[in-house]
Structures are given as C-alpha cells and as structure tokens.
Amino acid sequence: VTVFEMGRGVGGRMATRRSRDFRDFTCNHGAPFFHAKDEQFQEIINMLVHEGVVRVWDGNFGSVNPTTQEVIKDAPQTTYVGIPFSM
C-alpha cells in the first residue's frame, strides 16, 4: 500500500489544524475521537497511549432534543483522542 499525504504534515483523518492567527491554538479534526471495538485494536491503542500519542478523552457526550431543547447525556465506551504535536 502506498499512501500519498496532501497536507503539510501527516495525519489524514486524524489531522491537527493549526491557527495562523493564534500561535498556540491547535485542534484535532476529521476524526476527533475513536473507540476500540476489538481486542487487537485495543492493544494498538494501549501501545499508543504508552507512547504519548493517544490519550483517554474524559469530556462529555450528549445530544439536544430539537423539540424540547433537553440535553441528553450519553455515556459511551472508553473514548480516545490523538494528542496534537507542537511544531
């Protein structure tokens, strides 16, 4: 398999956006979080967590009912995010 990356840096769907106006601002986008659905992928994630590339995300998940404006909090499985790197 040959992968051609079109951006300034590698990342693809797990890319980090840097602001031109705010020097210290970075944002993960594209695939902002992910879950492990099988044991083999979980082993890879564990290795990436150990290497400091990925971490557990402890933010909130939820949705808003458009009719009632009620906020419904979801409690998904363990969620991971990539850690932005500094240039």
pLDDT tens string 26-69: 665 666 788 898 999 999 999 999 999 899 988 777 777 888 88
CA distances from 2 to 7, 26, 51, 82 (A): 16, 28, 25, 23
Over residues 8-14, the mean pLDDT reads: 61
Give strand pairing partners of 55: 81
| Cα–Cα distance, 47 to 62 (Å, whole number) | 29
pTM assigned to the model: 0.56
